[in-house]
Amino acid sequence: GNFTTNSTYHKNLDFVLSTLTTTNTGLGFFNYSAGQGRNRINSAALCRGDIEPRLCRSCLNDSVVRLREMCPYQKGAVGYYDECWLSYSNKTILGDTRGGLILYNSQNASDRDRFFGALRPLLNELQRDAAAGGSLRKFASGNTSGPDSITIYGLVQCTPDLSGSQCTDCLETEINNYLVSVVGSIGGRILQRACNFRFFNGSTLATQPPSPPPRISQEAPPVPSTTQEGKSSNKTRIIVVVIVTVSVIIIAASICIFLRLKKKTTTEEMTHSIDNETETMDIGTVESLQYNFSLVKTATNDFSDDNKLGEGGFGAVYKGKLGDEQEIAVKRLARYSGQGDEEFKNEAWKSWRNGTAT
């Protein structure tokens, strides 16, 4: 939902964002809440576990500015960057381990079996190391040798409010989701607030992880308790589908997401970053969920004409119903061109701005 200028929610948001970056636990985790009832705002931020405090502060300050520019009146928003993420919402943030956004490098490994035979043990080891972290930091990074004398680097992280088992479950779910959805890519990552991971050829790790503070037993700030404000007023979500080689789709709806990721080459559709050039991609999403394309086909009765609601920009719109009786509206972008990714983003934002992505 949206808020209005100079409303109580607006004033609370200004206060929360000005205060959040002062709540550092010492290792790049931030958590602050303010307000009551419908005007309560929860906020959280996490810096990558291997960067210096100076870079962490810079990333968070930039994120606040960018989110206010890109999502000026949304009650909830999340900004994902290479070195941090920052989020605010009138709903619970911490402990929410629902699905994330998949990013991947479009270049495939020359020997997929050997590449992923080396990658999976690395991710499993890093997952265990991160989950074993204390209440102030759950982060691990490392590397392993891959085929053709390459080095595979990996990084995993959970918000430190999660227990060890919650961190393990979150990472295991996201890693499995990625490996099922994307086959053969030499680099990829999951963007998710509770946990995230990335892997790539070539090190982008900025520094060694900072030393922990002397009093490592210090407890992290408690998870903010929020009250759900009644039942959802909308049961229909708009799903924008691009029919390309990857059957992964992103829901577009009521919370603003801002991704600022560096791009290595124009052929890398979604990738980790190591260069100076930056690219902005804006996608609206409810829960950053992803659905397998076959599930959407089933929900729409294989895009049956009986389920067709009409024609829109870049494709037809179909009604459907998921297995949990969730009603959905699916926009199918049936053609792909060199500008397909731009068309997808423009169409998603058009639906969002026009209020048709509900």
* Domain 233-254+289-358 in CATH 3.40.50: no
The CATH H-level superfamily of 101-201 is: Gnk2 domain, C-X8-C-X2-C motif (3.30.430.20)
When pLDDT is averaged across residues 59-69 and rounded to a whole number, the result is 92
pLDDT, tens digit, for every residue of 261-270?
443 332 233 3
331 is known to lie in a ligand binding site: yes
Burial class (CB in 10 A: 0-12, 13-18, 19+), 165: exposed
pLDDT surpassing 60 at residue 234: no
Calpha distance 63→175 (Å, rounded) = 26
Calpha distance 249→346 (Å, rounded) = 15
Q: How many helices (H) and strands (E) does the chain have?
A: 6, 17
Contact 290, 102 (CB under 8 A): yes
Contact 133, 165 (CB under 8 A): no
Domain map of the chain by residue range? 8-94, 101-201, 233-254+289-358
Tell me which of 1.10.730.10, 3.30.430.20, 3.40.50.2300, 3.30.499.10 is the CATH number of domain 8-94.
Answer: 3.30.430.20
Phi then psi for residue 114, to 5 deg, are -70, -35
Give the rounded percent of residues in the chain with a pLDDT score beyond 70: 61
Which pLDDT value is given to residue 256? 63
pLDDT surpassing 80 at residue 65: yes
pLDDT, tens digit, for every residue of 290-329?
455 666 777 788 888 887 876 654 467 777 776 555 566 6
Is there a common fold for 101-201 and 233-254+289-358? Answer: no
